[in-house]
């Protein structure tokens, strides 16, 4: 591919977005919230220099943020120096007529285990704090604050909208 080919491929969705038939912002946010609340597994992508990681993880969507409990791993190499992340949440697809997914761009931060927010997420997930403290290793809480959602949903097209809808927060 030439540089021009790469640029054309990279701008495919952003070019289409200019003239896209868009869903009302509140309706789209409600669909995003419902989709994220109905799922529990995401792929978290984090990168810094040559340290790039995409990790499948269990998550909770609460108070407009994604919360991930993690015992650690190579993703923390990237998170240490680059808080910009991307998440993907999706249904298993059986073809173009059944697409249903969200890509999230946002900022990650590690929530201190002694904080009220950490305790609140444990309570939301119905995890007793004592169970966490008894583990032989710490459980880190990654909070991703979304800045943009890109939802791809075949049902949007059936309703007369473009199949891909974006929401910047």
Looking at residue 21, its pLDDT comes to 93
Shortest CA distance to 60 belongs to which of 143, 169, 166? 143
Looking at residue 17, its pLDDT comes to 85
CA distance 45 to 87: 6
Ranges assigned E (strand) in 14-125: 41-48, 51-58, 60-62, 65-70, 84-90, 100-111
Looking at residue 99, its pLDDT comes to 85
Looking at residue 142, its pLDDT comes to 98
Domain 23-168: top CATH class: mainly beta
Looking at residue 94, its pLDDT comes to 66
pTM, 2 dp: 0.92
Q: Splitting the chain (169 residues) into consecutive groups of 10 residues, what average pLDDT does each group show? A: 93 86 96 97 96 96 97 96 97 79 98 97 96 94 98 93 95
pLDDT tens for 118-135 read: 999 999 999 999 999 999
Evaluate whether 104 touches 25 at the Cβ level (below 8 Å): no
């Amino acid at each position: 591919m030439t540089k021009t080919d790469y640029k054309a491929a990279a701008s495919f969705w952003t070019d289409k977005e200019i003239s896209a038939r868009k869903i009302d912002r509140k309706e789209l946010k409600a669909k995003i919230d419902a989709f994220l609340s109905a799922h529990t597994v995401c792929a978290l992508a984090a990168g810094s220099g040559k340290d790039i990681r995409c990790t499948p993880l269990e998550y909770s969507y609460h108070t407009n943020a994604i919360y991930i409990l993690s015992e650690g791993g190579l993703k923390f190499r990237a998170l240490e120096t680059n808080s910009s992340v991307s998440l993907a949440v999706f249904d298993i697809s059986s073809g173009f007529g059944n697409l249903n997914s969200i890509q999230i761009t946002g900022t990650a931060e590690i929530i201190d285990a002694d904080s009220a927010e950490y305790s609140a997420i444990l309570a939301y997930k119905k995890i007793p704090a004592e169970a966490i403290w008894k583990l032989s290793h710490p459980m880190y809480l990654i909070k991703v604050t979304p800045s943009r959602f890109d939802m791809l949903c075949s049902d949007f097209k059936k309703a007369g909208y473009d199949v891909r809808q974006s929401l910047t927060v």
